[in-house]
Amino acid sequence: MTSPIYSMDDVIVENLYVETEIDSDDDGDLDLVSIEVMRPKTEPGVQVPVIFEMSPYRAGLNPINFHDVDVDLTPVDDLVTAGVPLVEEMQTNDLGRLGNYYVPRGYGVILGESIGSGRSYGCPTTGDENEILGTKAVIDWLNGNAKAFTEDGEEVSADWSTGNVGMTGASYNGTLPNGVATTGVEGLKTIIPVVAISSWYDYFRANGAVVAPGGFQGEDTDNLAEGVLTRDNPEICEDVIAELYEEQDRESGDYNDFWAERDYVKDADNIKASVLVVHGLDDWNVKTKQFAQWWEALKENDVTRKMWLHQGGHGGTSANNWQETENRWFDYWLYGIENGIMDEPIVDIEREDGSWSQEADWPAVDMEETTLHFNAANDGEGGTLSMGASSSDGTEDFIDDPMIEAGQLAVDPQWSDPNRLVYLSPALTEEVRLSGTPEVKIKASIDRPAANLTALLVDYSGSSPEIVSRGWMDPQNRHSVEQSESIVPGQDYTFEWDMQPKDHVFQPGHQIGIVIMASDHEYTIRPPAGTEITVAPGNSEVTLPIVGDIESMKISAASLQTLVDQFAEEGAFVDEEALRSLDLHLTAVGHYENQEDAAKVVQHMQGFQDLLDHQLRNERISEEAYDSLQIQVDTLMERWDETVREAS
């Protein structure tokens, strides 16, 4: 690794303007972007590489007026044919984090202001070609392909630089490196995008649905641009903001040319730089689809890549010697120092307990797509997930109420709820790891020509459900994100959509749950309540990317015993005798399951059922425990009853 051999007392700091090749404010002059250059004082002839961060946030933010989301949805027939992630990093002293650390180690550090922000000219355009080319110009200058000037207009060269550049930054600051990398610009050797966007469509939309970044309900490209429009004379950008408003198309939510220009994934074949992806597995601002689709595109195009996934949200990580890894990565790609980093496994991933492991790829190489089928609820109960074919041949209804938050709709899965449907796996007998992208498919009808559809993947353990992933869609985009198609009220359709990619371990005793609902209060448009959605569970399923023994996901005496043990720990039984009697019955059931004696299994399960009923009547078991166990008992009894019937 490079060492801090240069004195901070001799740092050279320059404030310059770089001439771009764009005129985003249409004033007849090429835009200039403002940069601060910080570099060590070196011996004559000694050149240094550069670490570069461009940001629209250096001059702060204007107040943002978000779009109203409490509005009706628009049927396609009626159409006329980013959140604010991390603001500027906290400055620990004059040079900031990058300058303080890397300038003494022999790097130049450049902090730029994106077009339309701070002292830069032009207009912010939320991730399109103008912003990318405005950022690229700085790298061109470092390689002799663009001009830079002092505030007095004197032209300045970068003869102190090797021309080797690495870009980094978090959120918007990390998104710009993704876009610049797709230009294949000369001199850009590597990028480290942290919680960064790879497609702006997937930041503000999801499968045709208008979806907000977490925490910024109602935000879109236009008011994000207004927020970072901190240049002098901002009124010059009024037409640019108005154009963003029109072309982002909040009515249909379709993917169009506007979004294609802001989609870096499709241009990954142009990337020449290496990429070190850093993302939080719990990031609901720049959601996890951003890193997953970027990672896959890099792989498909043979881009040299490495990735760090941590358990945090919208930000970087300091755990697991991250600073050292970042340092070694830049040293290898900008100085050519052979330090072994390219010989390590390409994925570092943090687990829920804070431990770290290294893997050969992501999703995990031994991941298997596992389909679980929906089984309808009995009266007053929640439904189940099964690995075998569903036995349900009817339908279930729920009513959209956008004012109820998803967290409220995820609780009490053992009971029915008029505003959601829920399907539960048995209690897991072993840990099950999810690694990849869950996908939902339902057969359903809708009583209105427009609606939202939302799916939640939930980790259930006692009374504290954890929403692991979410996914949204506009049913009018059931065939394509590029074209909305009319919904005929009351007609059955098959809807398929993805949820956010995740890497999550479900612990033994926990249950995997799928919640199907309509509007998501925190993310989607919130139309008037009352839309009724009718689902056919027998033709509906979820596909999960599973690592581990899928046998642990089957309903059995063992899974029931695991659930009993979990409720015992929570004090659901009044005494040891009540618990012991249940254990004895389940031991017998497990014995006959192993012998595949269906008749005996049914006989002893009936005894288990009678015992549960007796304990409930005599208040020796909690109602929650009884209802949760009852769902699994019904499913297991039905399966073995069918075996008995087939045998006779």
Catalytic residues: 171, 283, 314
Of the candidates 396, 417, 425, which has an alpha carbon nearest to the alpha carbon of residue 546?
425
* Rounded CA separation 632/264 (Å): 46
State both tokens at 577.
Answer: 């005798």
* Rounded CA separation 567/561 (Å): 10
Strand (E) positions, 437-554?
A: 439-446, 453-460, 466-473, 493-498, 502-506, 511-517, 532-547
- In sequence order, what DSSP letters do the residues of 113-133 get, joined into one string? E-TTSTT--S---SSSHHHHH
* Rounded CA separation 118/300 (Å): 38
* Rounded CA separation 93/97 (Å): 8
| Cβ neighbour number for residue 161 with a 10 Å cutoff | 22
Q: What angle do CA 91, 94, 97 make, to 5 degrees?
A: 45
Alpha helices for 489-622 (secondary structure H)? 557-569, 576-594, 598-617
DSSP assignment letter at 266: G
Alpha helices for 249-378 (secondary structure H)? 257-260, 289-300, 322-330
**Strand 274-280 relative to strand 305-310, pairing:** parallel
State both tokens at 327.
Answer: 């340092």
Strand order in the sheet with 161-170: 155-156, 148-149, 12-19, 32-39, 108-113, 48-55, 161-170, 188-194, 274-280, 305-310, 347-350, 356-359
Distance between terminal CA atoms of the chain? 74
Which H helix or E strand runs over 178?
Answer: helix 172-181
Where does residue 106 fall: left (phi above 0), alpha (psi -120 to 50 degrees), or beta otherwise? left
* Rounded CA separation 257/191 (Å): 26
Of the candidates 67, 251, 210, which has an alpha carbon nearest to the alpha carbon of residue 525?
210
Query: 308, 318 in Cβ contact below 8 A?
Result: no
Residue 120 identity: S
3-class DSSP assignment, residue 233: coil
Alpha helices for 402-459 (secondary structure H)? 406-409
**Strand 347-350 relative to strand 305-310, pairing:** parallel
Residues 6 or more apart whose CB falls under 8 angstroms from that of 424 comprise 382, 383, 384, 385, 413, 414, 460, 511, 512, 513, 631
Q: What angle do CA 392, 398, 399 make, to 5 degrees?
A: 165
* Rounded CA separation 484/75 (Å): 9
DSSP assignment letter at 104: G
| Cβ neighbour number for residue 645 with a 10 Å cutoff | 9
